[in-house]
Structure 1
Amino acid sequence: MNKVDVAIIGGGPAGLSAGLMLGRARKRTIVIDEGRPRNGVTREAHGFLTRDGISPREFRRIAQEQLRVYPSVSQAEDTVVSISGEDGSFLLETATGMKIASKKLLFAAGMKDRKLKIPGLADVYGKSAFVCPYCDGWELRDEPLVVISRGAALMHFAPLLSGWTKRFVVCTNGPDELSEAERDELRDHGIPLFDTPIRAILSSEGMVNHVTLEDGIEIPCTGIFFKSEL
């Protein structure tokens, strides 16, 4: 039985940063991470001072290495499958059978992207198709893009993306789930809207060329942003 003060579930930037500070506070800490980071498909990570543009793999390597300086912090590549107990006395069990008694829990599990069933998307994901403009919008600034989204998520996402480029087309890949007023708002801002299902995304070496719809329309673009909950 491993006994710790804090069990951190998730070993991305947030979980590793928490582990660093707890290690410096001399708290017995374990960071549990399954080793499949959300940004593992991307070439670069952005938004971290002194590390802007670093590869996600290198970022994690450096962070994990720095944690090893602190003897009260341990790291485990594993998955928590059950938690019981209450504040001050939790019991965790992992997929490998490890049992951990912890006074506190810190969840830093982040997000998982659901895969869209669009032929060709997997070939460009992380190379020219992304989910977060704050992370990757700069590289695609002022470029012609396709946005794959619908409904309320689209009406939030479209104004957000316009900070990086005004040259984008919306593909809802089926019913747009919008009101007529929302469609009018997109038209007033000059944003083309296509609700025909997507046949395929065409690309070369991970770089998208165009999006083809089921009715034969081809939409040229150099990048894609999509909402993975579709």
Structure 2
Amino acid sequence: MLLDCIVIGGGPAGLNASLMLGRSKRKTILFDDNKPRNAVTNESHGFITRDGIHPLEFKQIAREELSKYPNVIIKKQRVLQVDKNKQVFTIKADDGEVYKAKKIILATGLKETLPNIAQVNQFYGTSIFSCPFCDGWELRDRPLALIAENNRAFHMAKVVFNWSKDLIVCTNGKQILSVEQKNQLNSKGIIIYEQEITSLQGDHGYLKGITFAGGESITREGGFVTPEWEQASSIGRDLDCEFNDQGGIKVDHFGRTNVEGVYASGDTLLAGATQLIIAAAEGSKAALGVNAALMEEDF
């Protein structure tokens, strides 16, 4: 059977794309290997009517809604390979099955690498986060730390300052801020620690303090990090999709890549804030792009 579309990735972008395709009567398979980047997250925020929802509950509700559409099938498999021959895509899953489709939507998301600090994983997702728009409200007005080892440190400090004026910036031994940037941060009372971080202290995921090389310690109650992000899947590169300077797949307003029939959405684009509601909207736009293309081909 030749499918209308295969969606690769079962996060909010892939789920919403599948919903729109289902409602458009398109024969669709959604592949989800269930390895989300937000696996450590206890609450997702910023999505109206779903603010504070657990990511697993969000996914369960989404799958229940998709079950109403018999033309949408969910496969709990990882896609290993995608090949294109003329206008048909051949997809091989890790169970050995092969599928064919007219279009594909890449919603494969990102992998993240946290700063190289031994205990950071103990606190990540409970009191240390990567998105102030997602979790800043819960940490508002507390003594916070921004731990950043890359060139996003200065911008991120300005963002986090919106939620707490009691803020320090820790570069973990990296020299990443210019003199001008340091002066601007200092003018706001933001103290910069360029020493290596030797340990993070706290209990049950809740940060209480940071100790630096040399023995200095400071009390903190939470904070943010700037992870390094990379594509969770090589499929986009394998298909020769173009990428932007940040490593995201380039698309137009309807999720179309430079490769005919290939669409992309969600965190895969690395287009800005990695928020649930934005990813879902981009999934919807990609599905609209697929639907428009299929309608034009019908005529």
Q: Is the shorter-chain TM-score for this pair beyond 0.5, marking a shared fold?
A: yes
Q: How far 1:86 moved relative to its partner?
A: 5.4
Equivalent residue number for residue 135 of structure 2: 136
Q: Deviations over 1:57-77 (max 9, x none)?
A: 111111011111101101112
Structure with greater strand share of residues? 1
More displaced stretch, 192-201 vs 84-93:
84-93
Q: Residues 179, 20 of structure 1: CA spacing in aligned structure 2 closer, same or farther, 3 A cutoff?
A: same
TM-score normalised per structure 1: 0.94
- Asked if 2 retains the 8 angstrom alpha-carbon contact of 1:9 and 1:109, the reply is yes
Structure 1 CA distance for aligned equivalents of residues 160 and 86 of structure 2: 41
- Asked if 2 retains the 8 angstrom alpha-carbon contact of 1:7 and 1:31, the reply is yes
Q: Deviations over 1:145-182 (max 9, x none)?
A: 11011453011111111111111101101122222222
Equivalent residue number for residue 126 of structure 2: 127
More RCO (CA 8 Å, sep 6+): 2
**Which consecutive residues of structure 1, in runs of 5 or more, have no partner in the other structure?**
none
Structure 2 CA distance for aligned equivalents of residues 215 and 77 of structure 1: 49
- Asked if 2 retains the 8 angstrom alpha-carbon contact of 1:119 and 1:200, the reply is yes
Equivalent residue number for residue 102 of structure 1: 101
Equivalent residue number for residue 178 of structure 2: 179
Letter in 1 for 2:49: T
Equivalent residue number for residue 221 of structure 1: 220
Structure 1 CA distance for aligned equivalents of residues 64 and 145 of structure 2: 39
Letter in 2 for 1:25: S
| 1:1-230 map, 5 Å | 3-85=2-84, 88-229=87-228
3-state SS of 1:35 partner: coil
Structure 2 CA distance for aligned equivalents of residues 95 and 198 of structure 1: 41
Q: Residues 141, 39 of structure 1: CA spacing in aligned structure 2 closer, same or farther, 3 A cutoff?
A: same
Letter in 1 for 2:92: E
- Asked if 2 retains the 8 angstrom alpha-carbon contact of 1:87 and 1:104, the reply is no
Structure 2 CA distance for aligned equivalents of residues 150 and 176 of structure 1: 8
Q: RMSD between aligned alpha carbons?
A: 1.6
Detail structure 1 runs of 4+ shifted over 6 Å in the superposition: none
Q: How far 1:50 moved relative to its partner?
A: 1.0
Q: Residues 87, 73 of structure 1: CA spacing in aligned structure 2 closer, same or farther, 3 A cutoff?
A: farther
Letter in 1 for 2:131: C
Structure 1 CA distance for aligned equivalents of residues 124 and 46 of structure 2: 19
3-state SS of 2:29 partner: strand
Structure 2 CA distance for aligned equivalents of residues 78 and 101 of structure 1: 15
**Which consecutive residues of structure 2, in runs of 5 or more, have no partner in the other structure?**
230-299
Letter in 2 for 1:132: C
- Asked if 2 retains the 8 angstrom alpha-carbon contact of 1:87 and 1:103, the reply is no
- Asked if 1 retains the 8 angstrom alpha-carbon contact of 2:22 and 2:69, the reply is yes
TM-score normalised per structure 2: 0.73
